[in-house]
Amino acid sequence: QVQLKESGPGLVQPSETLSLTCTVSGFSLTSNSVHWVRQPPGKGLEWMGIIRSGGSTDYNSALKSRLSISRDTSKSQVFLKMNSLQTEDTAIYYCTRGVYYGLLDYWGQGVMVTVSS
Amino acid sequence: DIVLTQSPVLAVSLGQRATISCRASQSVSISSINLMHWYQQKPGQQPKLLIYRASNLASGIPARFSGSGSGTDFTLTIDPVQADDIAAYYCQQSRESHTFGAGTKLELK
Protein backbone atom coordinates (compact mmCIF):
# COMPACT_ATOMS: atom_id res chain seq x y z
CA GLN A 1 0.00 0.00 0.00
CA VAL A 2 1.00 3.63 -0.48
CA GLN A 3 2.89 5.10 2.46
CA LEU A 4 4.92 8.24 3.08
CA LYS A 5 7.01 8.87 6.18
CA GLU A 6 8.78 12.07 7.14
CA SER A 7 11.93 12.12 9.22
CA GLY A 8 14.28 14.79 10.49
CA PRO A 9 15.38 16.75 13.54
CA GLY A 10 12.71 17.91 15.94
CA LEU A 11 14.67 21.01 16.95
CA VAL A 12 16.58 23.45 14.79
CA GLN A 13 18.48 26.56 15.83
CA PRO A 14 17.42 29.93 14.37
CA SER A 15 19.31 30.87 11.20
CA GLU A 16 20.27 27.23 10.56
CA THR A 17 19.17 24.89 7.76
CA LEU A 18 16.35 22.36 8.04
CA SER A 19 16.82 19.01 6.34
CA LEU A 20 13.90 16.59 6.10
CA THR A 21 13.49 13.27 4.34
CA CYS A 22 10.29 11.72 3.00
CA THR A 23 10.58 7.98 2.43
CA VAL A 24 7.85 6.55 0.23
CA SER A 25 6.63 3.05 -0.52
CA GLY A 26 3.91 1.53 -2.65
CA PHE A 27 4.54 3.83 -5.62
CA SER A 28 7.40 5.13 -7.73
CA LEU A 29 8.79 8.66 -7.60
CA THR A 30 9.11 8.50 -11.39
CA SER A 31 5.33 8.00 -11.71
CA ASN A 32 3.97 10.48 -9.15
CA SER A 33 4.88 13.85 -7.73
CA VAL A 34 5.60 14.51 -4.07
CA HIS A 35 4.65 17.76 -2.34
CA TRP A 36 5.68 19.30 0.95
CA VAL A 37 3.02 21.05 3.04
CA ARG A 38 3.50 22.58 6.46
CA GLN A 39 1.21 23.63 9.30
CA PRO A 40 2.22 25.97 12.13
CA PRO A 41 0.68 25.08 15.51
CA GLY A 42 -3.01 25.96 15.56
CA LYS A 43 -2.93 27.35 12.02
CA GLY A 44 -3.81 26.26 8.50
CA LEU A 45 -2.00 24.38 5.75
CA GLU A 46 0.68 26.03 3.64
CA TRP A 47 1.80 24.49 0.36
CA MET A 48 5.59 24.61 0.14
CA GLY A 49 6.67 22.93 -3.06
CA ILE A 50 6.60 19.97 -5.43
CA ILE A 51 9.00 17.62 -7.15
CA ARG A 52 7.31 16.14 -10.19
CA SER A 53 7.69 12.65 -11.60
CA GLY A 54 10.15 13.95 -14.19
CA GLY A 55 12.26 15.64 -11.51
CA SER A 56 11.28 19.28 -12.08
CA THR A 57 10.41 21.41 -9.09
CA ASP A 58 8.12 24.32 -8.22
CA TYR A 59 8.06 26.33 -5.03
CA ASN A 60 5.79 28.63 -3.05
CA SER A 61 6.90 32.11 -4.11
CA ALA A 62 7.14 33.19 -0.46
CA LEU A 63 9.68 30.42 0.29
CA LYS A 64 11.44 30.10 -3.05
CA SER A 65 14.65 31.86 -2.01
CA ARG A 66 15.17 29.54 0.98
CA LEU A 67 13.76 26.21 -0.20
CA SER A 68 15.12 23.29 -2.18
CA ILE A 69 13.45 19.94 -2.92
CA SER A 70 15.36 17.01 -4.41
CA ARG A 71 15.09 13.23 -4.54
CA ASP A 72 16.92 9.91 -4.78
CA THR A 73 14.71 7.63 -6.85
CA SER A 74 16.84 4.56 -6.08
CA LYS A 75 16.08 4.99 -2.38
CA SER A 76 12.48 6.22 -2.87
CA GLN A 77 13.33 9.33 -0.91
CA VAL A 78 12.48 13.00 -1.31
CA PHE A 79 14.46 15.68 0.48
CA LEU A 80 13.53 19.14 1.71
CA LYS A 81 16.16 21.71 2.60
CA MET A 82 15.25 25.16 3.86
CA ASN A 83 17.79 27.67 5.09
CA SER A 84 17.74 30.72 7.35
CA LEU A 85 15.12 29.26 9.64
CA GLN A 86 13.20 31.55 11.98
CA THR A 87 10.75 30.88 14.80
CA GLU A 88 7.83 31.32 12.39
CA ASP A 89 9.04 28.21 10.55
CA THR A 90 8.02 26.13 13.57
CA ALA A 91 5.43 23.74 12.16
CA ILE A 92 4.42 20.20 11.37
CA TYR A 93 5.91 19.32 7.98
CA TYR A 94 4.05 16.83 5.80
CA CYS A 95 4.99 15.11 2.58
CA THR A 96 2.11 14.04 0.36
CA ARG A 97 1.66 12.27 -2.96
CA GLY A 98 0.33 14.25 -5.85
CA VAL A 99 -1.60 12.61 -8.63
CA TYR A 100 -3.20 13.73 -11.87
CA TYR A 101 -4.98 17.12 -11.65
CA GLY A 102 -2.88 18.06 -8.64
CA LEU A 103 -4.88 16.44 -5.89
CA LEU A 104 -3.03 15.08 -2.86
CA ASP A 105 -4.25 11.58 -2.14
CA TYR A 106 -1.88 10.14 0.47
CA TRP A 107 -0.20 12.01 3.31
CA GLY A 108 2.52 11.17 5.75
CA GLN A 109 1.88 11.52 9.47
CA GLY A 110 4.04 14.64 9.59
CA VAL A 111 7.09 15.62 11.58
CA MET A 112 7.07 18.45 14.13
CA VAL A 113 9.94 20.89 13.74
CA THR A 114 10.59 23.53 16.38
CA VAL A 115 12.88 26.45 15.66
CA SER A 116 14.36 27.64 18.93
CA SER A 117 17.66 28.39 20.59
CA ASP B 1 -0.92 33.75 -6.73
CA ILE B 2 -4.48 32.45 -6.47
CA VAL B 3 -5.95 33.24 -3.06
CA LEU B 4 -8.69 30.99 -1.63
CA THR B 5 -11.08 32.49 0.91
CA GLN B 6 -12.98 30.40 3.44
CA SER B 7 -15.07 31.41 6.45
CA PRO B 8 -13.11 30.52 9.60
CA VAL B 9 -15.89 28.85 11.56
CA LEU B 10 -19.25 27.19 10.86
CA ALA B 11 -21.50 26.11 13.71
CA VAL B 12 -24.00 23.35 12.94
CA SER B 13 -26.32 20.97 14.79
CA LEU B 14 -25.99 17.22 14.47
CA GLY B 15 -28.27 15.85 11.76
CA GLN B 16 -28.42 19.19 9.93
CA ARG B 17 -26.77 20.24 6.69
CA ALA B 18 -23.41 22.02 6.68
CA THR B 19 -22.39 24.14 3.70
CA ILE B 20 -18.75 25.22 3.56
CA SER B 21 -17.72 27.68 0.88
CA CYS B 22 -14.44 28.47 -0.85
CA ARG B 23 -13.99 31.45 -3.16
CA ALA B 24 -10.99 31.80 -5.46
CA SER B 25 -9.45 35.13 -6.47
CA GLN B 26 -9.53 33.94 -10.11
CA SER B 27 -10.97 31.01 -11.98
CA VAL B 28 -9.52 27.59 -11.13
CA SER B 29 -11.35 25.86 -13.98
CA ILE B 30 -9.96 24.83 -17.35
CA SER B 31 -12.83 24.13 -19.77
CA SER B 32 -15.02 21.74 -17.76
CA ILE B 33 -12.26 20.65 -15.39
CA ASN B 34 -12.47 22.27 -11.97
CA LEU B 35 -9.09 22.11 -10.26
CA MET B 36 -10.44 22.46 -6.73
CA HIS B 37 -10.12 19.77 -4.05
CA TRP B 38 -11.29 19.43 -0.43
CA TYR B 39 -9.60 17.92 2.62
CA GLN B 40 -10.71 17.07 6.15
CA GLN B 41 -8.34 17.36 9.08
CA LYS B 42 -9.12 16.17 12.60
CA PRO B 43 -6.99 17.31 15.56
CA GLY B 44 -3.68 15.49 15.74
CA GLN B 45 -4.13 13.87 12.33
CA GLN B 46 -2.89 14.51 8.82
CA PRO B 47 -5.31 15.91 6.25
CA LYS B 48 -7.45 13.44 4.32
CA LEU B 49 -8.71 13.88 0.75
CA LEU B 50 -12.51 14.16 0.63
CA ILE B 51 -13.48 15.56 -2.76
CA TYR B 52 -11.39 16.01 -5.90
CA ARG B 53 -12.05 18.11 -8.98
CA ALA B 54 -14.86 19.90 -7.16
CA SER B 55 -17.45 17.13 -7.12
CA ASN B 56 -15.83 13.68 -7.11
CA LEU B 57 -15.92 11.68 -3.88
CA ALA B 58 -12.57 10.20 -2.87
CA SER B 59 -12.32 6.50 -2.14
CA GLY B 60 -13.95 5.44 1.14
CA ILE B 61 -15.62 8.80 1.80
CA PRO B 62 -19.29 8.55 2.90
CA ALA B 63 -21.97 9.73 0.51
CA ARG B 64 -23.16 12.41 2.96
CA PHE B 65 -20.21 14.47 1.67
CA SER B 66 -20.64 16.21 -1.67
CA GLY B 67 -19.01 19.04 -3.59
CA SER B 68 -20.11 21.49 -6.22
CA GLY B 69 -19.08 24.65 -8.01
CA SER B 70 -17.03 25.96 -10.89
CA GLY B 71 -14.94 28.97 -11.82
CA THR B 72 -14.34 30.86 -8.60
CA ASP B 73 -17.06 29.58 -6.24
CA PHE B 74 -17.10 26.14 -4.67
CA THR B 75 -19.04 24.43 -1.93
CA LEU B 76 -18.54 21.39 0.27
CA THR B 77 -21.78 20.02 1.72
CA ILE B 78 -22.18 17.56 4.57
CA ASP B 79 -25.73 16.25 4.95
CA PRO B 80 -26.50 15.10 7.53
CA VAL B 81 -23.69 16.17 9.85
CA GLN B 82 -22.50 13.47 12.22
CA ALA B 83 -20.35 13.82 15.33
CA ASP B 84 -17.39 12.27 13.48
CA ASP B 85 -17.47 15.16 10.97
CA ILE B 86 -16.37 17.79 13.50
CA ALA B 87 -13.04 18.84 12.01
CA ALA B 88 -11.32 21.49 9.93
CA TYR B 89 -11.98 21.56 6.18
CA TYR B 90 -9.58 22.99 3.60
CA CYS B 91 -9.98 23.73 -0.08
CA GLN B 92 -6.96 23.50 -2.38
CA GLN B 93 -6.52 24.70 -5.97
CA SER B 94 -4.13 23.21 -8.50
CA ARG B 95 -4.95 25.48 -11.46
CA GLU B 96 -1.86 27.66 -10.98
CA SER B 97 0.76 26.11 -8.75
CA HIS B 98 -0.99 25.10 -5.52
CA THR B 99 -2.61 26.99 -2.65
CA PHE B 100 -4.84 26.13 0.28
CA GLY B 101 -7.64 28.09 1.81
CA ALA B 102 -7.20 29.10 5.45
CA GLY B 103 -9.66 26.41 6.52
CA THR B 104 -13.15 26.27 8.02
CA LYS B 105 -13.56 24.80 11.47
CA LEU B 106 -16.84 22.93 11.75
CA GLU B 107 -18.21 23.21 15.28
CA LEU B 108 -21.31 21.96 17.05
CA LYS B 109 -24.02 24.49 17.81
Answer whether A107 sits within 8 Å of B102, measured CB to CB: no
Residues A24, B48: Cα–Cα separation, whole Å: 17
- C-alpha span between B69 and B40 (Å, rounded): 18
Residue of A nearest to B88 (CA): A44
Helix/strand/coil (H/E/C) assignment for every residue in A12-76:
ECCCCCEEEEEEEECCCCCCCEEEEEEECCCCCCEEEEEECCCCCEEECCCCCCCEEEEEEHHHC
Please give the pLDDT value at position A18. 98
Q: Which residues of B touch A (CB under 8 A)?
A: 1, 33, 35, 37, 39, 41, 46-49, 52-53, 58, 88, 90, 92, 94, 97-103
Beta-carbon-side half-sphere exposure of residue A43 (alpha carbons within 13 Å): 15
What pLDDT sits at residue B59?
A: 96
Judging contacts by C-beta atoms under 8 Å, the chain A residues touching residue B100 are 37, 44-47
Q: Which of A45, A95, A97 to mutate to test the interface with B (most CBs of B within 10 A)?
A: A45
What is the structure's pLDDT at B78?
98
Q: Would you say how long chain A is, in residues?
A: 117
pLDDT at residue A113, as a whole number: 98
The size of the A-B interface in CB pairs under 8 A is 58
CA B72 to chain centroid, in Å, comes to 13
CB spacing of A37 vs B58 below 8 angstroms: no
A46 has which bridge partners? A38
Are the Cβ atoms of B46 and A109 closer than 8 angstroms? yes
Nearest to B98 among A102, A107, A110 (CB): A102
- pLDDT for res B35: 98
Low-confidence ranges of chain A (pLDDT < 50): none
Residue A102: what pLDDT?
93
pLDDT, mean of each 10-residue run, chain B (109 residues)? 97 97 97 96 98 98 98 98 98 97 97
What are the residues facing A114 on neighbouring strands?
A11
Per-residue pLDDT at B23: 98
What is the rounded CA–CA span in Å between residue B45 and residue B48?
9
Q: According to the model, what pLDDT value does residue A69 have?
A: 98
- Cβ-in-10-Å burial (0-12, 13-18, 19+) of A57 comes to middle
Chain B: residue whose CA lies nearest to A111: B46
In this prediction, residue A3 carries a pLDDT of: 98
